[in-house]
Every structure is written in structure tokens, then in C-alpha cells.
Amino acid sequence: MIRRRKLIRAVVAVLAVLAVLVTAGCVSIPTSGKVEQVEQVRGLPDNRSEIVPKPPVQDAPPRLIVEGFLLAMTRYEPNYDVARQFLTSASRQSWRPGDKVTIFDDRQLATTDDSAVLSATRTGVLGADGAYQPSSGELVQNFGMVKENGQWRIGNPPDGLLISQTSFASAFTPFDLYFYDPSFTALVPDPIYLPSEGRIEASLIQALLNGPSAWLSPAVTTAFPAKTTLNTNSVPVVDGLAQVSLSGQVAGLTDDQRSNLVAQITWTLRQQTGIRGVQLTVNNEPLTVRDQVTQGNETFIPIDAGAQKGPISPQASTTLVGASGSNGNTVVTVDETGESPVLRPVPGPFGKAAYAIDSLAASTSGSTLAAVTDGRTTLRRGAVAAVDPVVVLDKARALLRPQFTRYDELWTIGQDATGTPTIWVARGSSTVEVRPDWLGDLDVTAFRISPDGSRLAVVGEQNGSDVLALATIVRGDHLTIGPLREIQVAPSGSALRRLDDVGWITPTELIVLGSPGPSASVEPYGVEQDGSKTERLGSSDDWRATSIATAIDPSSLFRAVIAGQGDETWVYRSSDYWPPFSSKLRVPAYPG
């Protein structure tokens, strides 16, 4: 089943007491300690802090001024008025808390009678667009203490906000914004974080209007016309209906364009609980859209409108395929409905052990198969019952497991006949070669494309180290692949040194097979695409794992099968349980 991000929150009662003590001038705040992990559904408000920061007390020393300032930054305010009271009059005017959020851990605050310097380990940065980026290195912040009117104040505030890792997890909530691929076929999620105590609905719509994050922007577009704004600074929810009032640019859209816009709104707002629909107005007049319904006296757009535009194809099949038989080259489908899997050969040459199969792929609908064969030199494609599959590539080298996208493309990565690293993308009778700049520097060992087809996840070796990274897929007149964005894979602070395979288990979450060292067991880990979280998804029972196959169905449930040596496989069940699956299945692959 789908895994939701676990947000770590501190024990609120303890922090509330500490807040009172600080404002009374009695104690400083620890930013480490025991925390509680809870399953958190996106958009629920129950991770909100009960801490109420107070202004500085009279005659407080530098330490308590800085402690109070750090505490005040953890509680969202539109202008952070309480936090500004800890600053000098000049700094109050120049400080811009909305520019970014720097997240830190392992802090130490060194103070004297007239100075305060924070030393910590930087763990991440949240940009003004709300996008999270992992960051590392030492953070040193000299607060430049100044006496103003006889009271200590901060003369050198940080750029943006400074928040500890624990406070960030309780003060900010993850959401996805939704934008389109250039053909308006599929919505592509763009993860952001918003203050948990802000006006979430309005913030989400405003973020949609602001556009995608800088990293994703080249690969996506939006249905909102340029310069569209909210007519009000709020999106009230009345009896479960979100009231979205937009400016006049929207009025000129066609029916199709309005439906595309509606899908962006509903997919983005449905992350908030309690919203059953949207009432859309333009300059305070109802906007007619074909997605709207009338129930009694209410006309509204159901919150599930635009379901067919989601990141996961409505036609997505989850029928597992693999290779089996006496020589291990018979392509089979796997029936998972019973207590034990049932393997059935497919019709045609693929099911008659006609090829020496190295790896497999199935199209999104499951109707077409592809196989890398003949010692990873040849790529063949054909309908499941094809009499004679087509040779897409031959005389190549070290071809990786192929993959179909929802756009009927067939991808693989390897080397051409001269040994040049190449990405091949085949569609119909045409095959193009794509060579992004990074391909020569990274020895790619596995790849997977996101369900929406706009992001490429790769595992490979670079400068002697294993790397997990993402790149955007930009579809225009010519398909191009953007620069790599490396994802730090560090569960509980211990980096994974070995990475063997990768797959997608939600539209924004990856699963990798990895281990902290060459001799340690390879195990599955869930990794948020922005690197904000890594967690182990079960433990190995001497799997000797070689690959993982994953699928996400239209209801957002994921499936996964791990392949080990000797045709052994294990299947994912709930609660991180991986029981044995089949001992006669090789190179398993889910569609897409």
C-alpha cells in the first residue's frame, strides 16, 4: 500500500513548558531530544505546534534573546512580528523571512556577555518557492548582538528563517503542486513545503499561480493564463466547498483549457481533508466548466474532477511479467490473486523461449513486451502475441533493463557499437539517441521513469561512488534530458554506499536497493524525490537481491517484487513485510 511521509514532531507539552520558561528568562531551549514518529497524512493540521512565542523580556542577556528568536521563527506568522521584536530597529526593516528556510541539526550556541554565535550542521534548505533541497556542511551564524535603548537585540539576522530539523518537521507540511507535461496528457507533482499554520488552501492556489519549481519548470507547463491572480487573499472552505476566485484572464479559456485548469486545482486541493468540491469564480462571477455538477441548490466542481489527468495512467496495468521455464527464457505473466503465484507463458515467440532474455519490460497497458536479449546486445519489441517481434536495437553493449512510458515510448540505456554511452528512445518505427552532458561522467547501472513520464531516476557510479539522481525529461520539438540532481540517501544519518536498483512507489517517492557498505545486506529503502526523507522499507533475509520491480495502480497503491539469485523472489506486503514469492521467476517487471 502507499506510504505517506512520516513527519517527526516533538512532544508538544514539553516544548510549551520550555517556551514559557524562556520568555520568563529562566532557561534556554534544547533543540534535540526524544521525538515521536507518527504516520501523517498530507494536509492534516494535527502536526501544528502549540508553542506560542513571546516577545523578549526586559534586560534579557544575549543567549535568551537568541533562544527566543529561534523559537519565534518556528511559529508561522505572516510577517513574523514576534520574531522581529528580537532584532534591532534597522534589522527589523531589512530582514526577509520569506526568502528561504535553512534547516539545521546538532546545534551549539556559544554566548558571552555581548555576543552569540550558532554553530550547527546544515541539513536542508527550503527556497522561496517552497521546494526542499538537501544541503550539508557547517552552519555558522553570528547574530551580531547590539545594545539598543539599553536592551540586547540581534543586529545580524540570518538570510530567511533558521529552523532545527525537529522544529521544521512540526512547523512545515509537505504538499504537491500539479503541473502538466507539454501535451497536457498527465499532471506532474511538484513537492513543496508550506507552514503548517498558514492559510493552506490559499497558499496552495497561490503557489500554483506562481508556477513550478525552478528544477521542474523546463519539463512542465500550466493551464493558468499568464498574470492570473487570486482576487482575494484567502480561499475559504464553506460546507466542504473551496471558494476559489480568480482574475479575468481565466474567462477567455476554452472548455478544454478550463477542464485542464480545474484538474490542477482539484488535484492540488484534494490533499486537504474536508474539501468535497470547488466553486470557481472569475471576477466574482461563477465560471462555467463542464466538470461541474448540481446537487440541490449547490453547483460545484467535485474534488475528484480531472481524475483521468493524474500522474498515473488510468490504463495502467499491474500484471507482473518475468522469465521462467527450464532454461529461464520463457516469458510468463504472473497471476497474483491466489495464495501462490501462478505463472503462465505468454503466446507467441516470447512465450516459447525463442530468445536468451536478459531483462524485460511491459507497456503501460501490458499489451506490448520488450526484451533485452543476446548478452545485453539486442532490444526486441512486440505485442504479447506477436508472431515476430521487431528488433529495435542490435550490436549495442551492456543494455540496461528497458522501460515503456505512458507515451508509448520504449527506453533503454547502454553503449553503442563504439562504446559511447547512449540513451535510446523508440516510438513507433523511430528511434532517437539522447546523450545528456552527464551521461559520460556517470556509469548508469539502473534507471526508472516516473509514472507521469517527466522525471528520470538513475543509479550509477561516479568517481568511485554510487549515486542516486533525478533528471527532468523535456518533451518539445526534440526530446531532451535535463541536468542531474543528486539525491542524498542517508537513512538515520548513515549514507548508503552501495546502490543497486531503483523504482517508483508513489509519484514522488522512490525505492532503492542499497546498503551502507559493500559487505552489508542489500535492503529496500524509500526515498522522497527531493531527498527530504529516507527510511528502510523492510529488512533482508539473505536475499542476495539483484533487482526490484515496482508498479503503482490508478488508485495509488504500489506493488513491488525483489529478485534475488537463483530465481528467488520476494513480494511486498503491508507493514514492510516481504514474504517469499516464487522460486521460479527471473527478471520480474511490472508494466510501465
* CATH number where 324 lies: 2.120.10.30
The arithmetic mean of pLDDT across residues 453-457, rounded, is 99
Does some domain include residue 237? yes
Does some domain include residue 444? yes
The arithmetic mean of pLDDT across residues 436-442, rounded, is 96
Q: pTM for the complete prediction?
A: 0.88
Do 60 and 95 lie in one domain? The reply is yes
List pLDDT tens digits, range 73-111.
Answer: 999 998 999 999 999 999 999 999 999 999 999 999 999
Last residue of a domain, one of 309, 340, 365: 309
Do 432 and 326 lie in one domain? The reply is yes
Can you read off the three cell numbers belonging to residue 2?
502507499
The arithmetic mean of pLDDT across residues 317-344, rounded, is 94
Does some domain include residue 1? no
pLDDT of residue 540: 82
Do 387 and 243 lie in one domain? The reply is no
The arithmetic mean of pLDDT across residues 57-77, rounded, is 96
**198-202, 295-299, 345-349, 517-521, range with the lowest pLDDT:** 517-521
According to DSSP, the β-strands at 161-164 and 586-589 are: unpaired
The arithmetic mean of pLDDT across residues 46-53, rounded, is 60
Do 78 and 108 lie in one domain? The reply is yes
Which position has the grid cell 532584532?
Answer: 87
Contact predicate 178/264, CB 8 Å: yes
Distance CA 62, CA 88 (A): 13
For residue 510, what are the contacts with CB-CB under 8 A and spacing of at least 6? 448, 457, 468, 487, 502, 503, 504, 526, 527, 528, 529
Do 333 and 214 lie in one domain? The reply is no
Mean pLDDT (the chain) is 90
Closest CA to 265 of 213, 228, 217, 214: 228
Instruction: Return the DSSP state at 249.
Output: G
Closest CA to 97 of 46, 141, 35, 161: 161
Is the pLDDT score of 45 beyond 60?
Answer: no
Q: How many Cα atoms occupy the beta-carbon half-sphere of 318 within 13 Å?
A: 17
Q: pLDDT confidence of 29, banded at 50, 70, 90? A: very low
Last residue of a domain, one of 264, 283, 309: 309
Q: How many Cα atoms occupy the beta-carbon half-sphere of 1 within 13 Å?
A: 4
According to DSSP, the β-strands at 116-126 and 480-481 are: unpaired
Can you read off the three cell numbers belonging to residue 582?
516464487
Distance CA 162, CA 196 (A): 16
DSSP string, 558-584: EEEEEEEGGG-EEE-BTTTB--B--SS
Do 335 and 217 lie in one domain? The reply is no
List pLDDT tens digits, range 508-545.
Answer: 999 999 998 878 889 999 999 999 999 999 988 788 89
Q: Domain count for the chain, please give it.
A: 3
List pLDDT tens digits, range 152-174.
Answer: 999 999 999 999 999 999 999 99
Which position has the grid cell 521455464?
Answer: 325
Closest CA to 560 of 528, 526, 584: 526
Instruction: Return the DSSP state at 14.
Output: H
Closest CA to 242 of 303, 290, 174: 303
Q: pLDDT confidence of 396, banded at 50, 70, 90? A: very high
Domain hosting residue 183, numbered range: 174-309
The arithmetic mean of pLDDT across residues 431-456, rounded, is 98
Which position has the grid cell 559487505?
Answer: 519
Is the pLDDT score of 132 beyond 60?
Answer: yes
Does some domain include residue 394? yes
Q: Greatest CA span in the chain, whole angstroms?
A: 89
- 331 vs 22: which has the higher pLDDT: 331
49-74 burial, b if ≥16 CB within 10 A, otherwise e?
Answer: bebebbebeeebbbbbbbbbbbbbbb
Do 212 and 162 lie in one domain? The reply is no
pLDDT of residue 41: 35
**190-194, 224-228, 313-317, range with the lowest pLDDT:** 313-317
Contact predicate 302/277, CB 8 Å: yes
Do 294 and 324 lie in one domain? The reply is no
Does some domain include residue 314? no
Alpha helices (H) along 211-367: 255-269
Does some domain include residue 199? yes
Is the pLDDT score of 21 beyond 70?
Answer: no
Helix, strand, coil percent values for the chain (each to nearest 5): 15, 40, 45
Helix (H, G, I), strand (E, B) or coil at 259: helix
Q: pLDDT confidence of 385, banded at 50, 70, 90? A: confident
Do 168 and 112 lie in one domain? The reply is yes
Do 190 and 151 lie in one domain? The reply is no
Does some domain include residue 566? yes
Distance CA 118, CA 32 (A): 15
Does some domain include residue 548? yes
Do 151 and 182 lie in one domain? The reply is no
Do 156 and 268 lie in one domain? The reply is no
Rounded to the nearest 10 degrees, how much is the dihedral formed by the CA atoms of 384, 590, 487, 575?
Answer: 180
Helix (H, G, I), strand (E, B) or coil at 207: helix
Can you read off the three cell numbers belonging to residue 130?
517552497
Distance CA 440, CA 423 (A): 11
Residue 307: in which H helix or E strand, if any? Answer: none
Last residue of a domain, one of 172, 194, 221: 172
